[in-house]
Structure 1
């Protein structure tokens, strides 16, 4: 802490003491009520901070998720607050989080997701190229043994592993075209097979 920082700290402590002293003196006849109000506002403040800090952990349970209607062979996916559609898909028996990308031609896995489904990203041959909004990236072709959403299972699906950095794996048209019908109704995407 430099001398300037220490001086600012002393100034803020003195200013806070003066404000708190004035507030207490002007409300000295109602100190019990003031203490109660201060405790309520303190709890509200702590609750807001806790809610903000935990939101990333609880939003997946609070936000609606995809619904699979097995007998109808239909999947309904709600639009996320960011405007995208996200799906959880079991790849080789492991659930993965995908962003649905109708602008992507293929299914593209992140290196991390590739490792989770049993592919070693270090042993893959990255000789392909993909042109993305962030430029050209190298890709490695792979085959996924199973791709399942509820009772809808596809086998031996062609996909690619991206050599670059990606936040989520992409579910592109190579997979979406396997569905008989793709509809967008208000804030839901409906896939029917």
Structure 2
């Protein structure tokens, strides 16, 4: 434990002592009632903590994800209005935002590193015009790209030198599919 941990421990101890002191003075002579109130609040806090801890499991049931069929992949529209597509690249799942306004597949620096690309070895010789201005790009090849039942041996992509929230899936890849948007779903077929 470092100094910050000791500080937090002291703070929590003082906070607990203050709450316990308040409880003892408030419920003096009525300790049974105070104990029941303490248990009720304790159960509420534990329930909130359990709900927060299980959110990663629950959200997959609450928020739909893409579904692969034998001849198509259905992608639901996210709450922000975009379509997010998960590709398997070299056996690793990577999430992309479908961007029909982008020409190529563009990886963020973080996603490029997740795929094992060494950013220091990339040559940022290209340029791309984005909504945030001109950025430098490095050309790379993505091997073994899979979307549901569809497989490609090699896909060209760019690594963006600028800061990006996530990676983009442009028309260089999306153009390989017949794209249908129905209601809140994007359907990709080959």
Query: Normalising TM by the smaller chain, what interval?
Result: 0.7 to 0.9
Pair 1:21-2:25 in alignment: yes
Number of residue pairs aligned between Structure 1 and Structure 2: 176
**Aligned residue for 2:9?**
none
**Between 92-101 and 159-168, the greater mean CA deviation after superposition:** 92-101
Deviation at 1:69, TM superposition (A): 0.2
Counterpart residue number, 1:38? 38
Deviation at 1:151, TM superposition (A): 1.8
Asked if structure 2 preserves the Cα contact closer than 8 Å seen for 1:93 and 1:117, the reply is: no
SS for the counterpart of 2:80 is: coil
| Bigger radius of gyration among the two | 1
Using the alignment, how far apart are the partners of 1:60 and 1:110 within structure 2?
25
2:4 counterpart residue number? none
TM-score, structure 1 normalization: 0.73
Distance, in Å, in 1 between the alignment partners of 2:75 and 2:67 is 7
Cα deviation digits, residues 128-152 of structure 1 (max 9, x gap): 1222233322111122233211220
C-alpha distance in structure 1 between counterparts of 2:121 and 2:45, whole Å: 51
Q: 1:161 aligns with which of 153, 159, 162?
A: 159
Unaligned runs of 5+ in 1: 1-8
Asked whether the equivalents of residues 128 and 140 of structure 1 are also in contact (C-alpha less than 8 Å), the reply is yes
Give yes or no for contact 1:64–1:78 (8 Å, CA) kept in 2: yes
- Counterpart in 1 of 2:7? none
Question: Partner of 1:137: helix, strand, or coil?
Answer: strand
**What is the correspondence of 1:1-193 to structure 2 with a 5 Å cutoff?**
13=18, 17=21, 21-22=25-26, 24=27, 28=30, 32=32, 34-52=34-52, 55=55, 57-58=56-57, 61-62=60-61, 63-70=63-70, 73-185=71-183, 187-193=184-190
Residue by residue over 1:139-167, the C-alpha shift from the partner in whole angstroms, topping out at 9 and shown as x without a partner, is 11122233211220123322111112223
- How many Å apart are 1:78 and its aligned residue? 1.6
Change (3 A) 1:43 1:84: farther
Cα deviation, 1:46-67, whole Å, max 9, x if unaligned, reads: 3224533664x44664432110
**How far apart are residue 19 of structure 1 and its match?**
7.2
The superposition leaves residues 52-99 of structure 1 with CA deviations (integer Å, 9 ceiling, x where unpaired) of: 3664x44664432110002xx211112223332222101233321212
Per the alignment, residue 6 of structure 1 pairs with none
